[in-house]
A and B are shown apart, each in its own frame.
Chain A
Amino acid sequence: MNPFHRILLAEDSLQDAELTTEALTSHNLANEVVHVRDGAEALDYLYRRGSFAGRVNGQPAVVLLDLKMPRVEGLEVLRQIKSDPDLKLIPVVVMTSSREEQDVVNSYQLGVNAYVVKPVKFNEFADAVRQLGVFWAILNEPPPGSRSNEGRVVG
Chain B
Amino acid sequence: MSDPARDSAKHEGAASRRSWQPYVVAVTATAVAAALRLWPLQALEARVAWLTFYPAVVVAALHGGLAAGIISGVLSCLTVLFLLPLIVGRTFIGDSVDWLGLAVFFATSILISSLAEATRSARARRLEAEVERDRFFTLSLDMLCVAKSDGYFKSLNPAFTQTLGWSVAELQARPFLDFVHPEDRAATLREVARQVVGGESVLSFSNRYRHKDGSWRWLSWKSVPAGQLMYATARDITELLRAQDAQRQLAAIIESSEDAILSWNLSGEVTSWNQGAHRLFGYSAPEIIGQLLAILIPPDRVEEGMTALDRLAGGGRLEPFDTQRRRKDGTLIDVSVTISPLRDASGRIIGASKIVRDITERRRAEARIAQLNADLQDRALQLADANNELEAFAYSVSHDLRAPLRHVHGYVDMLERALAGQLSEKSQRYLKTIADASVEMAQLIDDLLAFSRMSRAEMHASRVDLGALVQETIQELKRATPGRTIIWEAAPLPPVVGDGAMLRQVLVNLLDNAVKYSRLRDPARIEVGCAGQEDGRAIFFVRDNGAGFDMQYAHKLFGVFQRLHRAEDFEGTGIGLAIVRRIVARHGGRVWAEGAVNRGAAVYFTLEPSTAATSRD
Contact = CB atoms under 8 A, between A and B. Distances in A.
Interface of A: 13, 15-16, 19, 22, 67-68, 96-101, 118-123, 125-126
B414 A97 contact: no
5 contacts: A19-B406, A98-B395, A98-B398, A99-B398, A120-B409
A22 B417 CA distance: 12
Given A120-B442, A122-B414, A16 B398 contact: no
A42 B403 CA distance: 21
Contact of A97 (B406, B409, B453): B406
A19 B527 CA distance: 47
Given A68-B399, A99-B398, 7 more contacts: A13-B403, A15-B410, A16-B403, A16-B406, A16-B407, A118-B406, A121-B435
Interface in B90-136: none
Contacts of A123: 413
A15 B407 contact: yes
B219 to A, nearest CB: 93
Given A100-B394, A120-B405, A120-B439, A19 B399 contact: no
B411 interface: yes
Contact of B409 (A13, A16, A22, A121): A121
A19 B410 contact: yes
Contacts of A118: 402, 406
Interface string B337-350: 00000000000000
A153 to B, nearest CB: 26
A122 B395 contact: no
Interface in B377-407: 394-395, 398-400, 402-403, 405-407
B399 A125 contact: no
Contacts of B610: none
Nearest to A124: B409
A119 B402 CA distance: 9
A67 B403 CA distance: 12
B412 interface: yes
Contacts of A121: 409, 435, 439
Given A16-B406, A121-B439, A97 B399 contact: yes
B398 A125 contact: no
Given A120-B438, A125-B406, A96 B411 contact: no
Contacts of B394: 100
Nearest to A12: B403
Interface of B: 394-395, 398-400, 402-403, 405-407, 409-414, 435, 438-439, 442, 446, 449, 453
Nearest to B401: A97
A19 B415 CA distance: 12
A125 B410 contact: yes
A131 B402 CA distance: 22
A97 B409 CA distance: 14
A67 B400 CA distance: 11
A126 B403 CA distance: 14
B262 to A, nearest CB: 67
A98 B396 CA distance: 9
Contact of A120 (B400, B402, B414, B453): B402
Of the candidates B394, B403, B414, B446, the one having the most CB atoms from chain A within 10 angstroms of its own CB is: B403
The 6 tightest CB contacts between A and B, nearest first, are A122-B413, A120-B442, A122-B410, A15-B407, A97-B402, A19-B410
Nearest to B395: A100
A13 B405 CA distance: 13
Contact of B398 (A13, A97, A120): A97
A96 to B, nearest CB: 7
A122 B413 CA distance: 7
A19 B394 CA distance: 25
A96 B395 CA distance: 12
Contacts of B414: 19, 22, 122
A96 B438 CA distance: 18
A98 B449 CA distance: 11
B189 to A, nearest CB: 102
B399 A96 contact: yes
Nearest to B438: A120
B409 A122 contact: yes
Nearest to B409: A122
Nearest to B416: A122
A94 B264 CA distance: 85
A31 B13 CA distance: 150
A141 to B, nearest CB: 31
B38 to A, nearest CB: 155
A64 to B, nearest CB: 15
B401 to A, nearest CB: 8
A153 B273 CA distance: 101
Contacts of A100: 394-395, 398
Contacts of B406: 16, 19, 97, 118-120, 122, 125
Contacts of B407: 13, 15-16, 19
Nearest to A118: B406
A19 B411 CA distance: 8
A129 B352 CA distance: 93
Contact of B411 (A13, A15, A67, A97): A15
B452 to A, nearest CB: 11
Contacts of B413: 122-123, 126
Nearest to B445: A120
Contacts of A125: 406, 409-410
A96 B461 CA distance: 32
A118 B410 CA distance: 11
B517 to A, nearest CB: 26
Contacts of B438: 120
Nearest to A119: B406
A99 to B, nearest CB: 7
A118 B442 CA distance: 12
B516 to A, nearest CB: 22
